[in-house]
Structure 1
Amino acid sequence: MVRRTRTADAFTRVAQKSVQQDTASWRLATVTATYTDGTIDISTAHGPVAKVRRMKSYTSPAVNDLVVVLTNADGNWVVVGALATS
């Protein structure tokens, strides 16, 4: 019985990871570095991501900006822009 439970748990973990990887999503991140080639480094709740492409409309990226980031199933990342500060 224990063996079946472990196998079922393993399948559940694999399925959950697969679903998470195959979906598009958005998240918040903080800018940690900016570059002149149209990319920035960000820090997310899941860890740092280097050289993320930013949209043309995000013209003045700055370190510590809180930004909206889009991801897709292919593993592409796009920074939409900074959120307004209050």
Structure 2
Amino acid sequence: MRLSRQVIDAVQRLVTATVDQRTASWGLATVTAVNGNGTVDISTPRGPVASVRRLKSYSTPAVNDVVKVSRNSDGNWIVDGALA
């Protein structure tokens, strides 16, 4: 039995997405809003993420700050701090 190209492509996309979701990673983002509850909204290459907790060492966040962010395997984000 020969699998169609569409089925092969669909399986490959599913596997890639599954592995990507379960992998911890870090990257850069831009702060788009500072919230009063200790969180910031960020813009990442994956898209916008709202209400991300920040480390206490990043005590004075500002809109347009470029920040280092981490994402764990469950998909939770944290802002580690701003770049100089």
Aligned to 1:17: 17
Aligned to 1:53: 53
Structure 1 residues not aligned, in runs of 5+? none
State the percentage of identical aligned residues: 58
TM-score, normalising length: structure 1: 0.90
State whether structure 2 residue 40 is matched by structure 1 residue 37: no
State whether structure 2 residue 8 is matched by structure 1 residue 8: yes
Q: 4+ residue stretches of structure 1 with deviation over 4 A?
A: none
SS of the residue 2:43 aligns to: strand
Displacement of 1:5 in angstroms is: 2.1
CA RMSD of aligned residues (A): 1.5
SS of the residue 1:17 aligns to: helix
**Which AA in structure 2 matches 1:14?**
L
What's the CA shift string for 1:15-35, capped at 9, x where partnerless? Answer: 001010000001110001112
Displacement of 1:8 in angstroms is: 1.4
TM-score, normalising length: structure 2: 0.92
